[in-house]
Structure 1
Amino acid sequence: MPSELSRALAFQRGFVRRRAPRTVDVPGGFAVLDDRYPGSYDDNKLILWDAGDPATVLRTAEEVLAGFEHRLVHVDDDELGAALTPAFTAAGYRPAVNLVMAFHGDPPGGEPAAEHLDLETLVPVLRRHWRESLPDAPEPTIEQLARRVETRLRGADLVGFRGVRAADGELAARADLYVHDGVAQIEDVYTALRHRGRGHARTLLRSLLAEAAGGEPVFLVADADDWPKDFYARLGFAGIGRTHTFLRT
């Protein structure tokens, strides 16, 4: 039976393929491209799990992402990503390591269901949250980042946008839940700045874990060098592997 890591990585590859209007197969991977959202790194990137020499990989990234202002390369294999890091760094890319985490705890019971968010409700919230995160970004970029959520609906059998509200009625925390072929991913967890530190993300994650119970695996991806991974660990997630990303803007 495939490992948790291999199933999680296969899930992610399938998700981005299904949502992308254009894909380009390359040796050891593929690129996803969406000309509607040129400012979205996640919608325009190269994904690799096997590759040749660093010079070939760098040339491939230039070729498939020509016409975009950024270059994003995602490497699913930890050993390959580590080997490519010196060459990407020398070429002006910023490296980052991602921790793939699977839920190994007991599924929460009796949790209040998170609110189901439709696009009409969600898109204005995404605009506000992206403006919080990118205060200097031009308005067209903010609009692209908010509107691109529509493409996620094609990524899995179940694509759910979930949220919890603060006492004043404002949406305090939100996240996505994707389920396909028995695998579940929790993605894009975000708590609004003025609502942080009040337990809203914990409430939301426990609700999503209850909803996704039975997924094999239920997983998420966290920055290996940032604090949220410790928050997820306290909820019952454990690291099952590492991937790498390389970004040049």
Structure 2
Amino acid sequence: MVVEFLRGFARRRAPRVVPVPGGFAVLDARYAASYDDNKLLVWHGEDPAPVLAAADEVLADRGHRLVCVDDDRLGRAFAPAFAAAGYEHEENVLMVHRGGPPEVPYAEELSLETLLPVLRETWRETLPEVGDEAIEQLSRRSETRLRGADKVVFRGVRGADGEPAARADLYVHDGVAQIEDLVTGMRHRGRGHARALMLSLLAEATAAAGLVFLVADAADWPKEFYTRLGFEEIGRTHSFLRA
């Protein structure tokens, strides 16, 4: 159910969907610098060669190649061929919330107008070498997420200075909810903002859906943070990137 949600979300937000061996590609020329808006999603097949060829063909006019494999066995089987082709491999953990809803108020909803300056600052901190046009594309791509699910909201909590300190997305569709893109600004870290926001998102998500999940980097520390909040691993996906 979780991977079906992710595929459906990608399809609904993409202006162009192209069949490829083992799955499909999503494309959005308005945000050519956004890997997430221009990628292949694959989940069946046994031979990585047609997938590699499709990535070169479909993403020929992009500065990157991104292939997401949402079957753990297939991702591990494809890994050597993608490594030989110069791709970096990232393993992601699918985590489902098993606890009850926290009794906390919902966090503030952030409009796109409020969110955009925060996104620009975050991307500039993360990618200082990237030009202004790419930063603007990466920031404005949030507009496409509004088409990805029946309910899409951007939530945030503010710091002592009144500025958004932590923010995240919540998507709800057909009884499934995803919490995505949780980020705390560098100058606001270590003050509990992310935990406060996550508790709020869990309260809202569990009230709206029977299944709440998120995707975490298997090699990074936040998955332990999510575990302490009641999430547990149910599976893994793989991303292969050449930039």
CA distance in 1: counterparts of 2:51 and 2:31, whole angstroms: 24
Tell me the residue number matched to 1:45: 39
Tell me the residue number matched to 1:4: none
Query: Which shifted more, 212-221 or 236-245?
Result: 212-221
CA distance in 1: counterparts of 2:177 and 2:203, whole angstroms: 12
**Residue 112 of structure 1, CA deviation:** 2.4
Which blocks of at least 5 consecutive residues in structure 2 are unaligned? none
Aligned counterpart for 1:241 among listed residues 213, 228, 235: 235
CA distance in 1: counterparts of 2:185 and 2:48, whole angstroms: 40
Amino acid at match of 1:138: G
Aligned counterpart for 1:131 among listed residues 95, 110, 124: 124
Tell me the residue number matched to 2:165: 172
Matched, 1:15 2:9: yes
Matched, 1:114 2:96: no
Tell me the residue number matched to 2:156: 163
Tell me the residue number matched to 2:189: 196
Equivalent residue of 2:161, what SS?
Answer: coil
- The 5-angstrom pairing of residues 75-154 of structure 1 reads 75-109=69-103, 111-154=104-147
CA distance in 2: counterparts of 1:171 and 1:67, whole angstroms: 36
Query: Which shifted more, 204-213 or 53-62?
Result: 53-62
Amino acid at match of 2:196: T
Contact kept, 8 Å, 2:91 with 2:218, in 1: the verdict is yes
Matched, 1:74 2:81: no
Matched, 1:221 2:218: no
Contact kept, 8 Å, 1:156 with 1:178, in 2: the verdict is yes
**Residue 53 of structure 1, CA deviation:** 1.1
Contact kept, 8 Å, 2:42 with 2:69, in 1: the verdict is yes
Aligned counterpart for 1:61 among listed residues 50, 55, 64: 55
Amino acid at match of 2:186: L
Amino acid at match of 1:73: V
Amino acid at match of 1:151: T
CA distance in 2: counterparts of 1:247 and 1:177, whole angstroms: 26
CA distance in 2: counterparts of 1:73 and 1:51, whole angstroms: 14
Deviation string 1:1-39 (CA, Å, 9 cap, x unpaired) is: xxxxxx111011000100000000123200000000110
Equivalent residue of 1:212, what SS?
Answer: helix
Contact kept, 8 Å, 1:72 with 1:248, in 2: the verdict is yes
CA distance in 1: counterparts of 2:72 and 2:217, whole angstroms: 14
Q: TM-score, normalised by structure 2?
A: 0.98
Percent identity reads 67
Equivalent residue of 1:132, what SS?
Answer: helix
Equivalent residue of 1:95, what SS?
Answer: strand
Aligned counterpart for 1:32 among listed residues 3, 9, 26: 26
**Residue 137 of structure 1, CA deviation:** 1.0
Q: TM-score, normalised by structure 1?
A: 0.96
Contact kept, 8 Å, 1:51 with 1:57, in 2: the verdict is no
Aligned-pair Cα RMSD in Å: 0.8
**Residue 44 of structure 1, CA deviation:** 0.1
Amino acid at match of 1:39: A
Amino acid at match of 2:57: E
What count of residue pairs does the alignment treat as equivalent? 242
**Residue 213 of structure 1, CA deviation:** 1.0
